[in-house]
Amino acid sequence: MIKDMWTSWKRDSHFRLTEPSITIYKDGITFNASLNKIVDVTRFLNVMIELNHPDNEQASKVRFVLNNYEESEKNFKITRARTNEDNRRGFVACRNLIQFQPKLKRLSENKRSGRRLEVKRFGKDANSFYFDLNPCFESSVASTADLPTLGGVYRYFDKAEVVYIGRGKNIKSRSKDVQRNNWVFDKIEYSLISEEADQVLWESNFIEAFKKEFGRLPRYNEQSGAQILQLN
């Protein structure tokens, strides 16, 4: 008779729950317990939220600066859970930011695990932190005429199928390539990325993710993205 060897099952998570993180909701952002311990949110009443670019569509980072200044339209109140066991968890109501910042809006529509973002960078006084807003094809158009003249990554859809993943210094200009005249598509999704090296990185990452899921390239991709190191 085989002896039982009981082993605890671990929950499925794309990063450790003990790591500091925030969760994006449609009406606000929550700090997890680990993040609250690092910044000690109980010391602060409010928080200023800053984007690293004046054009919110091009922002790639969000910074939170905790403070005790007077609450205002630029200084958001930190709400805490009322139960003793959860009083260190902070919530910031900022629906307007999430609905008007494309990446945050797209993230808020994901399943719970896809709405969590790990926080890795903190200010010197531990009263500030920021997290990355990675490209997630958060913007979309139905016609190439409506594409921006800026750089980034993009993907073409035919109904619900991704048929091409690409990048370019000028997304609109790339769409005019004569080889694409006969392509069948009904939507283009894109993310703006200013640095060419980052464009190459994300194009390769998205193509590899597609290949891993479907075992093939998108219909109109003739080759994989540049062979480079995967994202950390």
Find tokens 């069948």 and name the residue.
184
Q: Which domains does the chain have, with CATH numbers?
A: 21-132 (no CATH), 139-214 (3.40.1440.10)
Task: Give whichever of 126-130, 146-150, 174-178, 222-226 has the largest mean pLDDT.
Answer: 146-150
Is the overall model pTM greater than 0.85, yes or no? Answer: no
CA distance 75 to 118: 23
Q: Letter for the amino acid at 199?
A: Q
Lowest mean pLDDT among 98-107, 122-131, 203-212: 122-131
User: How confident is the model at residue 61, as a pLDDT?
Assistant: 93
pLDDT in tens, 129-171: 999 999 999 999 999 999 999 999 999 999 999 999 999 999 9
Q: Please answer whether residues 35 and 129 qualify as being in contact, where contact means their C-beta atoms are separated by less than 8 angstroms.
A: yes
CA distance 50 to 59: 10
Q: Please answer whether residues 167 and 153 qualify as being in contact, where contact means their C-beta atoms are separated by less than 8 angstroms.
A: yes
pLDDT in tens, 77-91: 999 765 545 555 789
| Residues whose CB falls within 8 Å of the CB of residue 58, separated by 6 or more in sequence, listed in order | 150, 192, 194
Q: Please answer whether residues 49 and 128 qualify as being in contact, where contact means their C-beta atoms are separated by less than 8 angstroms.
A: no
Average pLDDT over residues 183-190: 96
Average pLDDT over residues 197-213: 96
| Residues whose CB falls within 8 Å of the CB of residue 85, separated by 6 or more in sequence, listed in order | none
Residue 121: CB atoms within 10 A of its CB come to 11
